[in-house]
Amino acid sequence: MTGTVNKSSLALKFIALLSIVRWYNILLTVLAQYLSAYVLMQHDGISVWAMLADLKLHAIVMASIFCIAGGYIINNFYDFEKDLINRPDSTLFNDLLQRNTTLNFYILFNIIASVIAFSASLKIGIFFLVFMISLWIYSHKIQRIPFVKEFVASILSIACFFAVMLHFSRFYPYAFIYGAFFMTLVYCRELVKQFINFTGDKALNIQSLPVSLGVDKAKSFTVFMMVLSLLAGLSILLYFGLEPGNYFILLAILVLAYCIAMMQRNRFKSINNIYKILIVLGIFNILLV
């Protein structure tokens, strides 16, 4: 009976760990990395089998998994009090793992990521070392700076794609433009999330946009950034035309227009969910880029 209870407890703690590291976001990142590698190799006339045999690529993906997992752990550590107000149920469940234990996992994951990255190459190792330090600085310092934290978060969200491009030493102009547009979507979603977390931020005096500017001014700024994102997508369509790789951008423009209207009705959670779907579709659209 005791053995069964211990196994059940370990299983719950493992599930809590998966929840803390946001396994679904990591899975999407892995998918995006392999899709990006596939597209880059297709441009160079390299077969899929060559991609499957590319050990450095797999090392980059594995390093990304442990590095991102560590980033979520340290972010969860610093955000515990705020999350306890905004998401009490999931936060209390995640607290099945003691905070000292999660910090040990953070150190372990970063060590594993470093070993794997440096085994791939020196430049990949340095990239991930900078990435890990940036994740810690974001969680410890930048996350409490309004305006800046959303921008940095959006950059960090797509940083692992650059590791793949660094490996292949290929920088296609359109891929960069598409990545920049994708980053505007991530940035706008980060802004919307501030309204969802408003209660916890205000209670703890965390200077998010709604807390520092007020809800109305923060909404105006968010709508302004959504409009800029929409115009950026429209510019890409006008310059490159309505090619298969741009169908997603057309969809994004229509969805952004809808989200702008939804902002006036304070439907922040719905907008956040729409952005989640849009970002997932954007990842699959890499195949058409």
CATH number of the domain residue 88 falls in: 1.10.357.140
Instruction: Report residue 284's pLDDT band, with 50, 70 and 90 as the boundaries.
Output: confident
Same domain, residue pair 86 and 38: yes
Per-residue confidence (pLDDT) for residue 222, from 0 to 100:
92
Q: Which residue has the higher pLDDT, 9 or 58?
A: 58
Same domain, residue pair 164 and 177: no
Please check the confidence at residue 208 and state whether its pLDDT lies above 70: yes
Contact by Cβ (8 Å): 204, 81: yes
Please identify, among 140, 170, 200, the residue that sits at the C-terminal boundary of a domain: 170
Same domain, residue pair 46 and 135: yes
Q: How much is the average pLDDT of 193-212?
A: 82
Residues for the chain: how many in total? Answer: 289
Residue 269 in any domain: the answer is: yes
Q: Which residue has the higher pLDDT, 204 or 65?
A: 65
Structure tokens at 275: 């952005």
Instruction: Report residue 2's pLDDT band, with 50, 70 and 90 as the boundaries.
Output: low
Please check the confidence at residue 105 and state whether its pLDDT lies above 90: yes
Residue 3 in any domain: the answer is: no
Per-residue confidence (pLDDT) for residue 49, from 0 to 100:
80
Please check the confidence at residue 140 and state whether its pLDDT lies above 60: yes
Same domain, residue pair 57 and 79: yes
Please check the confidence at residue 3 and state whether its pLDDT lies above 70: no
Please report, as a single letter, which amino acid is at residue 257.
Answer: A
Please check the confidence at residue 115 and state whether its pLDDT lies above 80: yes
Q: How much is the average pLDDT of 99-121?
A: 92
CATH number at residue 237: 1.20.120.1780
Same domain, residue pair 144 and 30: yes
Residue 38 in any domain: the answer is: yes
Residue 280 in any domain: the answer is: yes
Per-residue confidence (pLDDT) for residue 289, from 0 to 100:
66
Same domain, residue pair 44 and 144: yes
Residue 2 in any domain: the answer is: no
Please identify, among 117, 136, 170, the residue that sits at the C-terminal boundary of a domain: 170
Same domain, residue pair 282 and 176: yes
Residue 69 in any domain: the answer is: yes
Same domain, residue pair 213 and 162: no
Q: Which residue has the higher pLDDT, 212 or 133?
A: 133
* CA–CA distance, 29 with 159 (Å, rounded to integer): 10
Q: Which residue has the higher pLDDT, 176 or 58?
A: 58
Please report, as a single letter, which amino acid is at residue 215.
Answer: V
- Following CA atoms 271, 275, 276, 281 in sequence, which dihedral angle do they give, to the nearest 10 degrees? 140
Q: Which residue has the higher pLDDT, 203 or 267?
A: 267
Q: How much is the average pLDDT of 17-40?
A: 88
Structure tokens at 91: 């936060």
Mean pLDDT score of the chain: 85
**The whole model's pTM is what?**
0.86
Residue with tokens 């990435």: 131
For the chain, how many structural domains are there in total? 2
* CA–CA distance, 12 with 19 (Å, rounded to integer): 10
Q: Show the DSSP H helices in the chain as ranges.
A: 2-20, 23-43, 48-52, 55-78, 80-86, 88-94, 99-120, 122-140, 148-168, 173-196, 198-203, 209-213, 215-240, 247-263, 268-284
Helix axes of 55-78 and 99-120: crossing angle, nearest 10 degrees:
160
Structural domain of 166: 9-170
Same domain, residue pair 27 and 141: yes
Per-residue confidence (pLDDT) for residue 5, from 0 to 100:
47
